[in-house]
Each structure stands twice: as structure tokens, then as C-alpha cells.
Chains A and B, each alone.
Chain A
């Protein structure tokens, strides 16, 4: 993992002192609400429906066991004993007191964590694939480049007051789990025609009111040009992005209204001024950042040891968990384990202080002291010996953390919704729970197989409903909560946006609607087709006909 040096630490300390002073002036009435707003947002602080909410960055999802324990301490000491993993590799605390925030930030700084730029109209936390560095099929580990981007974007003086928020994702794995194409900038690590590794850069993707898949701005650039290319895109956006209407202020609208070719020409014009200048990456810097992400000291092990194969034959529960939650590793004898935080009755992504401590212990015992959070709101132990999988499962099972629903119907992505968020039109957590309760047996989950259901409580789409196989969006109709269903979205390599099925439903109707949708799938699927494949083959009509059929 990246380790701060004296420069990183100094800047973080200076930032905390700055925000402590700003908070003090705000409480003393010397800063107006409007003046304090962007300052607190750029330190992760929202004023929410019930209490302030603090969003802490987990840069590209990496956490050490020491950091997990610190998050547990904060949940316990400053909050009500739990936190909430978000869809952008952050963790949120929903109940801190405003005057405690500087102390929380100081506490985070002790383990090199922060809440910088986790909100506000600036460059946000950079995200990536949770299997980076461990995945079997990977062009190159994305994390050194995420760290390079983190440093470039942190306290960037030119881009602290953009027209709107700005999100960057980087993906170096063959299977994109980072939803790269629906980010303001999406970066793929690719091989150029000469075999050299460089970047393909997309811009203008995003969800929210106007969901759009990103467009290619740079088909291929050499590694050294990464930051100048990003700066050129940001500079065009900062100058030309709309500031008259917050719903039209994202870069996707600028590209749409300007036209892709003209936008690319503008970026090129800026890039000409920056290219090969001081911001050009040096080999030394790439090496320096890469040196923090070298492989851990793996042992020489065999694939499929008897310590694994025997319990797989003997224990059906372990077998189910293994087949759903364990992924092949690039290193022989090791596996990637995903722990699903999607227990029925608990808000997706919620984690208690005790669970955080326990995860820290498991990370120490099984995965070189590191864990990762995923944009699907789950936790990954990326480097587990196959010999230890059964042992790990037993420990998870004892604490009810061995949910085997990863990527299955009940592994739902869900925003905090109307229970917590001031922006929401509708509650989202109870919808997730009602679906989890309707589909509550392992048999039915296995029968339906992999499917992604995402729920957002409003158009801002924090639950990424547009890119779900089944998306659910809370809408407000004359003060009443309704839920609109869309089908066919995907955030993977062949990203697509879901289509709206038809008129919205009441909360009570949702589980039955889900049943009807899955009945159409089960009746029509061919061989081992997943839900999305069947949908793509059939189109939306059969689903529509079934869901809206008049009952007789």
C-alpha cells in the first residue's frame, strides 16, 4: 500500500488545521452558510436530514488492518457504532457532531486517511477495480496510477471550484468491475500497437438525470502523458462547463452540447500547451509509486490443495460460498475472497464497529494485513491461501458474514435513500429488504443466478440504477413514493444503460413485480444464459407484457 512521506503528512496536517479554523469561524458566525458550504463539502461533510454526515475517502478501495481498526474506533467513538460503505469506495458516518469533525479528521490522519474532496464541485476520490494487482487477467496494476492521480488532484488549486463534481475511475483488468465508462473520466490501461502499455481515456460518462456512456477522447497515450492529458480535459471543462444550471453542469452535458469532435479539438489545443511540460510524468515517479504495490511475500503453494478440495466435497454450504464468493488469483495456490455485506435486514454496505475490527483481524490472519472495498459495497481479501479458505469461511460463518449471495439477486447496490439523505425522493433501503425477504432461499437464488439489482432513492443515481440489469429508481408523485423499474443496464466492459419498463409501482408491489420479471427469465432462458443475456436476446416486450398484464 502507499505510505505517506513527510510531504504527504505535512499537507494533510495543514489541511486539518485549515478546516479546524474554518469550522471554528463558522460556529462563531464569521463564515456564512454559503461560504462554509464548499469548504465543508471538500472535507467530506454534509448537513443531512438527521445529522451531519462525514464521507471518508478510501483511495481506490485499499485499506490496511490498522485503518480498519481506526474506522471501527470512529464508528464506536463518534458515531452510533456503524458506518456505510458507498458505491464509490468511500465510507460514510451518519451521526457525527459538527464540532467533532476536526478531531475525527485528526484521528484519520494518524493512519494516513482523510475526507478530502469526497464531496463538492472538485475532483473526487479516484476508484478502481477491487481485484487490481491480484486479478488473473490484468494488463497492469492500476493502483500506482490511481495514487499518481490522487496526488495530482488533491488540493489542485485550479480545479477546486469546477462547475460540478468530477469522478475518475481507472481500470487495468480485463473484466471491468469499476464501472469505468460511467465516470466523468474513465481510464483504461491498454497495450498500444507497439506493445507498450499506455492509457485510453474516455470522458463524459455519468449517471444521474442524464445517463451517458463515456466517449473516447484519447485512443492511446503514453504513460508519461497521463497528467497533462487529464489537466487538458479538466481545463476545458472548468472554462466551458455550464454554471447556469446544476443539472446541466457535468462534463457529459458539455461534450453533448459542444459535439465530440469539437470538444476533442479544444482538449487537443490545451494539451499542446501542456504536453511534455513540467507535468509530464517521470519514470522515477512511476517507479516510486509502483514500489508501494509490489506483490506481497507469497509462499510457494499448489492449486486445489486437499485442505480445500476435501471440505468442498463434504460441506455443501462451504461449497456454495466458495463457488460464489471466491475468484481465481494470478498467483498459484492463492484466491481472491469477496465478503458480501448484504445480509437481509441490514442496509446494503452497512458495517458495524465490531465487524470492522473482525475484518481487520481476518485481513491480518489471511491476507497480508490488507482489505479492499468494492463499488458493489462489499469487502475483498485479495490474497488468501487456498489452504486457508475453509478456515476463513468458518470464521466468517461464526460471525454471520459468510453470505453466499455475491453477484446474486440479493447482492443489491443501494444508496442510503430517504432514511438518511436529504436529496432522496423515496426510501431505498426498505425496497432492498423487501426483495431480499421475497427471494429468501438459497435454491431460488442459485436458480436465478447472477443478476445485478441496483436501487437509487432519487435521480442523482448514487445507487447506479441505470447500469443495473434491473434498476429501481424512487420517484415522488404528489408526495407519494413510487418506484420506476428499468431493465438491461450493465456497467461492465460492454456498458449499457437500462430501459424503463413502464409506469412506476408502489413499494408494496415491488417484490411481486420482481417475481414476474424472473418468471419471464426462467421460462425463456436457453442453457446457462444469465438474466442479462436472456434480456438482450428477448428485448423488453415480454417482460413488459408479463408485468403489466391485466390480472383475470
Chain B
């Protein structure tokens, strides 16, 4: 089981993530009652996904655009954004778009190559849960939220950049 950090705490993850290439039969085959489906499955097999008896969340890869489902985001209590490799920075923009442009209030989860040294910036872009790569030390990752006490730009807790607060 991978470690999940949410609200600065280590908690047990209950979501099963379906692979990017999954089809509708993966929904039926699942043994859990909380499933995270890839964007493509949601787009192509909407009826099957909505017929699923358990909880449904969605995840986007870094080359996919949240604008494709912008009218549907409030149907999800969790939207996960993938980091195929930690140095791929596209999901930071997607997270800010979700939080600041689309005013999404649910959980934004970082999945994939999620490492201690990127968590602070992720949290500032609006991510609020982090599914850690298995080798990551959970306590060190929780400490990452305190890397910086102040920021020049707007933060997820304060929309005003520093120059409006100085």
C-alpha cells in the first residue's frame, strides 16, 4: 500500500487507480468500492462509469487538459493529476487552473512520481493530497510543507501575492 498524505497527515488510501488504457470491463473487475478512472475511460464509457455502484474519481495525465471536463468537475470529490516523472511540470498548471480559474473545491491529489522535494510547490498550486512514491519517507514529506514560511506569489491559502500583503 502506498502512503497517502492528506491534511498534513498520513492516512490509508482507499482509492483504486485504473490504468490509463483501461476499458469498462476494468470497472466490473474491480474489488474495491472507490475507483479512480482515467480521463479517456470517462469520456468514452460515460454510461458504464456512471452505472458503477461505488465512488468514482477521475485522474488526468500531464498531457491531458482539464478544460475537457470543466463542466463536470463538481461531480468528483477527488480529481487526481499524474506526474509521469517528477520533472514534468504540466500538472502544476492544471492544479492552479482547477483551483483558481474553475474554483474547484474538492480534493486535488498528486499521483505518480510524487517526491518530498516537489511537495511544497505542489501544495502551493492547490494540491491537497499526495500519493507518495513507495520509497518516500512519509514524515519527511510532511515536513516539506514547512520548507518556506512565506511566498512572493499567491498561495493556496491566500490568493493575494506578497505585494498586496506587504
Please give the residue numbers on chain A whose beta carbons come within 8 Å of chain B beta carbons, in ascending order.
5, 7, 10-11, 14-15, 18, 22, 31, 35, 38-39, 121, 148, 151-152, 154-162, 235, 238-239, 243, 273, 278-279, 281-282, 284-285, 288
Contact = CB atoms under 8 A, between A and B. Distances in A.
Contacts of B124: 157
A455 B27 CA distance: 61
A159 B91 CA distance: 11
Contacts of A235: 93
A14 B120 CA distance: 12
A279 B100 CA distance: 12
Interface residues on B, range: 20 to 34
A209 B152 CA distance: 34
A159 B87 CA distance: 11
Interface of B: 65, 86-90, 92-94, 96, 101, 115, 117-118, 120-122, 124-125, 147-154, 159-164, 166
Contacts of B117: 22, 31, 35, 39
Given A11-B150, A158-B93, A238-B93, A279 B161 contact: yes
Contacts of A238: 89-90, 92-93
Contacts, number: 97
A278 B148 contact: no
A14 B86 contact: no
B89 A14 contact: no
Contact of A155 (B89, B96, B148, B166): B148
Contacts of A161: 86-89, 92, 118
Contacts of A151: 152, 162-163
13 contacts: A7-B166, A10-B149, A11-B150, A18-B147, A152-B153, A152-B161, A156-B153, A157-B121, A157-B124, A158-B153, A161-B92, A279-B161, A288-B166
Q: Which of A10, A157, A238 has the most CB of B within 10 A?
A: A157
Contact of B148 (A15, A22, A38): A15
Given A157-B121, A282-B164, A243 B88 contact: yes
B151 A157 contact: yes
A7 B92 contact: no
Given A157-B121, A278-B159, A288-B166, A162 B153 contact: no
Nearest to B89: A161
Contacts of A10: 149-150
B92 to A, nearest CB: 5
A158 B92 contact: yes
Contact of B152 (A38, A152, A162): A152
Contacts of A285: 163-164, 166
Contact of A35 (B115, B151, B159, B164): B115
A114 to B, nearest CB: 14
Contacts of B152: 11, 151-152, 154-156
Given A121-B87, A273-B101, A288-B166, A158 B125 contact: yes
B111 to A, nearest CB: 16
Contacts of A5: 166
A152 B163 CA distance: 9
A536 B40 CA distance: 56
Contacts of B162: 7, 151
